[in-house]
Structures are given as structure tokens and as C-alpha cells.
Amino acid sequence: MQPKIVVGVRFREGGRIYTFDPGILHIGPGDYVIVQTSRGLEIGIVAYGPREIQPHELTQPLNRVLRKATRKDIERMEENREEEKKAFRICEEKIKSHNLPMNLVSVEYLFDRSKFVFYFTSETRVDFRDLVKDLASVLHARVELWQIGARDETKVFGGLGICGRPLCCATFLKEFSPVTIKMAKEQSLALNPLKISGVCGRLMCCLRYEYETYREARSRMPKEGTMVETPQGRGRVMELNALKETLLVQLDNQVVVEFPLEEIAWEGKNNQKEDLANAESEAEQGNPPG
């Protein structure tokens, strides 16, 4: 099948990028465009493209870019942003008057002005039916409320991570992938919640970045506690350094020495290499290991 020409469109700063068919339009990064989505007409900014992709890479049917945004469209978008600020203040007041355990995060006023969408966080389920009715009567528009998680809230507000750089979620991450404590363990990180948690209070997204590299490196090494043979005699593995591919081994005389992986022998080493080679071979052929 022939490759398709697509552009990536973002509707909010730091938000997810969606793929669209530009048709015969000459558009590029930075251009504002009008597109049809499941929510109706929306205005967005082209984040990348045009570029070719293979049909099998598409995860959903392509909607077409209807047209380039006009000056009037952009003015309308700016007016909508001002309406969002007003709606935000109104909603905060209504939340207080209804005494609801909610934290309002952001508001969207759709480009076609068909409805307001309010996003909030809460530790519990919230019955906001009366709030919706109250807001609809004041704003004279349809109203939707959506409860979001801590990561989504942080993505909206942004900030700096412990690395000193702007948060990944607020800059380039399109969507959140699962992050587990196993990823921190695999990278030999101290399991201190203050050091491995992000601004959102959840495990840092960046724990996932190098996880596969560490996992592959550690799969070639003996586990901690394994008895091994070294150039200086028999000992027990105390610690692994996956990136340097070295091991700290406590010898029988209680001395701890660091050895390169290639100098170490242990029971099952050859079988471990064969299993790894078979898994890599199956992966190259497109077959999942195991």
C-alpha cells in the first residue's frame, strides 16, 4: 500500500499530537488549522509535517484538515480563551457553594462554542449533577465535567523536575505509559519515594526511558547473592553495575572486589547466554519470546 501524507496537530500547549490528512493544503509547522473531530470543529496548531507514514502505522481513521485558520478564526480562539478564564472563576465559586471535594484544574471552551468542558481532580467519586445544572444555567451552554488523575493535572500546570529541566509531561510526552517500582529496582535506584517520585506524586515517567537497556544488560549478569568464580577465587555477588558491566564480589576472605563481567563464571552462565540469544533471534523474526 502507498504511504500516506500526514500532519500532526496539537490543540493545547504540551497536549497530545493527533494525526490528520492535509489533503491538497500547503501547511506546515506553526500554521493554525480547522479540523473535524469527534467533539466537533476544533482549531489546532500544526506540530509537525507534512510527512509520509505507512498505513499500518495509523491507529485510527484519518480525519482531514478542513482548511487553514483565518484571522477571524484565531480571534475567535483568543475570545474563547478569555471565556474559559471567566468560566473557571465561576466554576470555582460554584464548587465552594455546593461544598464539593473537587480541585478544578482547567476549562475548555470548544471552538464551535457548543459546550464547556471542565477538568478536575478529587480523591473520591463526586456527585456533580447539581453543579452541572447550575453551571449550564449561568453559562448558557452545555457543560461536561471530567475527573482526571494527578499526572494529567501536573501536565496542565507544568513545572521543573528534580533534574532541573521542564517536566517531560508538559513538554514532549504525548501520553502516559505505565511506570512500576520494578523499573526503579532494575536500575538499582534507592527506593526512596522522595527521589523516585515526580511533582505529581507518582513514579517519575523518566524511570521508563532506560529501563529496557538496564533489563537487557542485567539479563546477561548473575543475580545478587549468586556464588561465582573470579580470578581471585570463589565469592558471592554483592552488587551489579549494569552500565559498566561490572560486579562487586565478596570473596571467601571477606574482601570485596570489583570485576568485569567477562572475568566471572557461574553455574548456568552458558544457558543464560543461549536463552538470551534465542530471545533476540525470535525478536528479529517478529516472534514474541516465550
pLDDT digits (tens, 9 = 90+) for 128-165: 999 999 999 999 999 999 998 888 888 877 788 888 88
* Cα radius of gyration (the chain): 27
What are the backbone dihedrals phi and psi of residue 2, each rounded to the nearest 5 degrees, phi first?
Answer: -70, 140
Q: If we measure between CA atoms, which residue out of 131, 125, 135, 141 comes closest to residue 80?
A: 141
Q: How far apart are CA 191 and CA 122, in angstroms?
A: 27
Domains recognised in the chain with CATH numbers: 4-69 (no CATH), 75-148 (3.30.300), 154-209 (no CATH), 221-284 (2.30.30.140)
With cut-offs at 50, 70 and 90, classify the pLDDT of residue 288. Answer: very low
Burial 159-172 (b: 16+ CB within 10 A, else e): eebeeeeebbbbee
Which three cell numbers, joined as nine digits, stand for 269? 552462565
Which three cell numbers, joined as nine digits, stand for 156? 496542565
**Three-state DSSP class for residue 30:** coil
Q: What is the dihedral of CA 239, 244, 245, 248, to 10 degrees?
A: -30
pLDDT digits (tens, 9 = 90+) for 98-130: 999 999 999 999 999 989 999 999 988 889 999
